Amino acid sequence: MARTSAEDIPDIEPIPEPEGPTEVIETDYEIGQDNIERSWTLSFDIHQVVFTWSALAIMAFIVLTLALQDEVEPVFTGLRNWLTGNLDWFFLLSGNIFVLVCLALIVSPLGRIRLGGPEATPDYGLVGWFSMLFAAGMGIGLMFFGVSEPLSHYSSAFGGISIGEDGLRTDWAPLGGAEGDVTAATRLGMAATIFHWGLHPWAIYAVVALALALFSYNKGLPLTLRSAFYPIFGERVWGWPGHVIDILAVFATIFGLATSLGIGAQQASAGLDYLFGIGTSNAVLIFLIIFITAIAIASIVRGLDSGVKVLSEINMGLAAALLLFIILAGPTMDILTGFLANLGAYGQHLPALSMPFGREDANFAQGWTAFYWAWWISWSPFVGMFIARVSRGRTVREFLVAVLIVPTLLSVLWMTALGGTAISQVVNDGVSAVQDAALELKLFEMLARLPLTAITSFVGIVLVLVFFITSSDSGSLVIDTIAAGGKINAPVVQRVFWAIVEGLVAIALLLGGGLIALQAMAVSTGLPFMLVLLAACYAIIRGLLNEPR
């Protein structure tokens, strides 16, 4: 769900003071007091602990992975399988907690509290705010999985349950499947897809965003994740407890971005090979990652207004045009009626899909859901800070309703249009190519059955590339803010450094195990940060209880 447009994040404004009576936290800590600041050939301003440990650990990971490519592949495979096989219940349970906390805050009196103080007014109008939430909800993940996931879940559900010699299920069908029933398999497949792109991921983002907004806009603390833990650690949050939280946030974001960059490179290379026959070798993938990173760096150097802003506006227009084209050129009535039917199926199957214990569909829960939850967790510092920066002046209730509902509905529409069209081609037109294609090729096989194939496929490739360019730029800003001790106007060279690191990590993971390695690192960095977010739920409630309502 890689997820945002960088032009919407003002990177040089100071955090505004609370407006009206709020419970400001009095602290002697000053932003940047633990930083190392130099101005030689290149200026830098970095938190001496967070930046140093994060950078050294990540660079060591890159070097070791590239040096030991053959040896690390089975390590990544074993790591992913162990984490998803043994801790899938923890990922699912935590995701449920985040949703329940958000829903409880919506209906409780705490929902009346305004971010920024009782007298604060929204920084953006309602339409503009919704459009930025839409920008946060669209991204490389929807391009990669928009066709492949609904079709995969439909196919596995339609195939039904299969039992191995050990008595365990070997199929990948969600829940009990829907063997031989086209309608039931379609609805179950779409419900499973929406489950991964609906309330749960957005509740994860909402927790991070609410924590950042509350403790920065209402409590007067720096815009870093450690600030949310002041109710737990007190002044110690400026020491090692806070350092660990921010370092984990850097790790999670770096590997989440690298996972998306690797997936995007695989899909872009598959699309280019589909159109022009350039191949999908490691050399092509590396070239694409370097190309994407170079453009991201150029946009960083040019600045938000003249760089990424233009790319983002073009990209969002292309995404909307592609969606509209598929709705009109595809099975229009099936898509429009399927939107409501899929929402109903999501509501019907949600309790069973979110059950963390006693699952018989182990392949689905471990291979799909556990990975997704870890991936969303790794993206949460990035998307959460974006949402926090554009949501000042909203009440907690208004904030949570919008963050949970608006992006969810837009994701449902996207998945229904792309996935529903692919399923219709398989069921009604007897097209097997889209069903048999590799994950990264399913989008292009689906577009091949619609008019203007060459144009729409090329647009799809451009969307994949530019979605990540804008995300890389914005992600570098967020990582740099954390690694600079909460400063939001640190030297540009530091954002360039983190953009380069993202590309190097993606290359290392692709060479050290491909998609499995990408998934393994997303899961392994998402796990410890899951604990951070669970503690953040408690801190948010404590912080809100002290606010005037």
Mean pLDDT of 392-410: 91
Cβ neighbors of 322 (< 8 A, separation 6 or more) are 456, 459, 460, 463
The mean pLDDT value of the chain amounts to: 86
Q: What pLDDT shows up at residue 132? A: 66
How would residue 495 be classed by pLDDT, with cut points 50, 70 and 90?
confident
Q: What pLDDT shows up at residue 515? A: 67
Ranges 153-157, 305-309, 388-392: which has the least confidence: 305-309
How would residue 50 be classed by pLDDT, with cut points 50, 70 and 90?
very high
Question: Two tokens at 37?
Answer: 């600041």
Q: What pLDDT shows up at residue 29? A: 84
Judge whether residue 61 has pLDDT over 50: yes
3-state secondary structure of 27: coil
**Which amino acid would we find at residue 126?**
L
Q: Phi and psi (nearest 5°) for 384?
A: -60, -45
Judge whether residue 20 has pLDDT over 90: no
Nearest to residue 389, comparing CAs of 134, 129, 213, 125?
213
Mean pLDDT of 11-30: 75
Nearest to residue 505, comparing CAs of 521, 494, 528?
521
Q: What pLDDT shows up at residue 394? A: 93
Q: What pLDDT shows up at residue 523? A: 80
Higher pLDDT, 255 or 322: 322
How confident is the model over 339-352, as pLDDT tens digits?
A: 999 999 999 999 99
How would residue 137 be classed by pLDDT, with cut points 50, 70 and 90?
low
Q: What pLDDT shows up at residue 193? A: 96
> What are the helix (H) ranges across 6-139?
50-67, 69-107, 126-137
CA–CA separation, 376 vs 379, rounded Å?
5
Cβ–Cβ under 8 Å, residues 209 and 400: no
Structural element, H or E, at residue 416? helix 396-427
Judge whether residue 379 has pLDDT over 50: yes
Distances 230 to 60, 123, 339 between C-alpha atoms, Å: 31, 26, 43
Q: What pLDDT shows up at residue 2? A: 42
Q: What pLDDT shows up at residue 12? A: 39
Q: What pLDDT shows up at residue 14? A: 59
Mean pLDDT of 173-183: 93
Judge whether residue 243 has pLDDT over 80: yes
Mean pLDDT of 94-114: 95
Cβ–Cβ under 8 Å, residues 47 and 485: yes
Cβ–Cβ under 8 Å, residues 44 and 494: yes
Q: What pLDDT shows up at residue 103? A: 95
How confident is the model over 278-322, as pLDDT tens digits?
A: 877 888 888 988 988 888 888 777 764 455 556 666 777 888 899
- The domains of the chain, with CATH numbers, are 44-546 (1.20.1740)
Q: What pLDDT shows up at residue 308? A: 54
Higher pLDDT, 32 or 462: 462
Q: What pLDDT shows up at residue 393? A: 92
Q: What pLDDT shows up at residue 153? A: 95
Cβ–Cβ under 8 Å, residues 239 and 50: no
Higher pLDDT, 509 or 248: 248
Nearest to residue 260, comparing CAs of 114, 161, 372, 411?
372
How confident is the model over 450-476, as pLDDT tens digits?
A: 999 999 999 988 888 887 777 777 778
